[in-house]
A and B are shown apart, each in its own frame.
Chain A
Amino acid sequence: MDHDDDLSGDDLHGRLAALEARVPVDPTPPTLPSRRRRGRFAVPIALAPVFVLAVVATAAAGAVVVSNLAEGNPGIQNPGQPLAGAHMECMSPPEADAFLAEHGFADVDWQVETGTTVAPDGGKGSSTTVHQATPPEHGYVIPGSVHDNGKVIMVADQRVGATGVGDCFGSPMP
C-alpha cells in the first residue's frame, strides 16, 4: 500500500477524524447568562461612596497611562481593529505588505530594525532603525498601528537573536 497516496486522501481524513474523536471532552455547554439588563442603579446605595471612589481612581490611573503612551493608536490586529486576528506576524514582509494592500492599506511605513538583540558581552544589543516605503525581503513582521493620517506603521525585525512575536514566536525568520 502506498502510504504517501493514502495521506492525501481517505486515510489522512480517517486518521485525523479518529484522533479528534478520541480527545476527552465534557460535552456540556456552559450556562448562558441572562440577557436581561440590570437596573441602572443596581448597586446598593450603601456602596455608592465606594463606587464613586473607584470611578475617580480608575479615571486618574487611566489619565496617567494615557499620558505615558508614546503612541495612542491601537495595534492594527487588536480586537476591534481593522485587521484583528490577521496573523501578519506569521507572514514575510512582502506577504504582509501585499496583504495590507489587499485590504486597502497602501500607505505603509516599514520600520526595519537591524543589529543584535544581545551584545557580545551578554548585555543589551544595539540596533539601527531605517524607515522605508517598500518592505524588506526578510525579517520578523511585527504588526503596528494605523495612524490618523491613514499611514500604517509596520516593523520588520531583522536583528540577530530576534524571536518573532505572537503565533510565530520562535519560528525561523522569514
Chain B
Amino acid sequence: MTSADATTAARRDRAAATNGETEAFEAAVRPHYAPLVRRLALVLGDPHDAEDVAQDTYLSAFRSWDRFDGTDVRAWLYTIGLRLAFNHRRGRRRWLAAIGRIEPRPWSDPSDPDLWAALSALDPSTRSALLLNVLDGYTQAEIAAMLSVPEGTVASWVSRGRAALRRELGPDR
C-alpha cells in the first residue's frame, strides 16, 4: 500500500467513525429531546426559551458525547439542560434588570392554572429538584449529583417545594 492509499484509507475510517458516532448519539438522545423541552419549559416558564436552551443542550451533549459514561442518557441530558437553564435565567435576569425589569409574557396552562401558578412561584432550583424527584423518581442523592449541590440542599428544596404546593393547592383546589 502506498502512502497516498494509506492516507485515503485513514480518512475513510475517520469519516465512518464520525458518522457512526453521530448515529449513535442521535439514537440515544433523540427520544429524550421533546421531554427535555417540556421539562425546561416548566423550569424556565417559557416554551420558546425552553426550545433555545434544549437546542444548546443537544449541541453541547453532542460535543461531549465521547466523554459520556453511558449509564443514564436522560439524567446526563437533563443535567446539561438544567445547568444551561439556570445560566440562561441568570443572563435574562441581568438583562431584564438592565432594561427596567420588564418581564416577558409567560406561558400559562388553562387546564390546571392553580398548579401552574403554584409551581411558577417556586424558585427554579426548587422547581427542578421537585420535578426530578416527583416526576422522574430520582433520589435526592442522584439529584444532588446532577445539580452539583449537597444532598441536604436537595432535601431542603424538595421538602420546601412539596410544602409550598400543599399550601397553595390545599383542599378543594
Chain A contact residues, CB within 8 Å of chain B: 2-4, 7-8, 12-13, 15-30, 32-36, 79, 83-87, 90-91, 95, 98-99, 102, 166-169, 171
Contacts and interface: CB of A to CB of B under 8 A. Distances in A.
B138 interface: no
B15 interface: yes
Nearest to B63: A35
B22 A21 contact: no
Q: Is the interface of A mostly helix, strand, loop or mixed?
A: loop
Chain B, interface size category, equals 35 or more
Contacts, number: 127
Interface of B: 15, 18, 21-22, 25-26, 29-30, 33-35, 37-39, 41-42, 47, 50-51, 55, 58-59, 62, 83, 86-87, 89-90, 93, 97, 107, 109, 111-112, 115-116, 119, 123-125, 131, 134-135, 147-150, 153, 162, 165-166, 169-173
A171 to B, nearest CB: 7
13 contacts: A3-B170, A3-B171, A7-B166, A12-B134, A18-B112, A23-B47, A23-B109, A85-B83, A86-B149, A87-B86, A90-B125, A99-B150, A168-B123
A27 B125 CA distance: 25
Contacts of B41: 23, 25
A8 B162 contact: yes
A68 B83 CA distance: 30
Given A3-B171, A12-B165, A16-B115, 5 more contacts: A3-B170, A20-B131, A29-B29, A32-B58, A91-B153
Contacts of A34: 18
B70 to A, nearest CB: 19
Q: Which of A13, A30, A102 has the most CB of B within 10 A?
A: A30
Identify the 4 closest CB pairs spanning chains A and B, nearest first: A27-B34, A25-B37, A23-B38, A23-B41
B125 A167 contact: yes
A143 to B, nearest CB: 12
Contacts of B39: 20
A36 B39 CA distance: 32
Contacts of B116: 19
B171 A85 contact: no
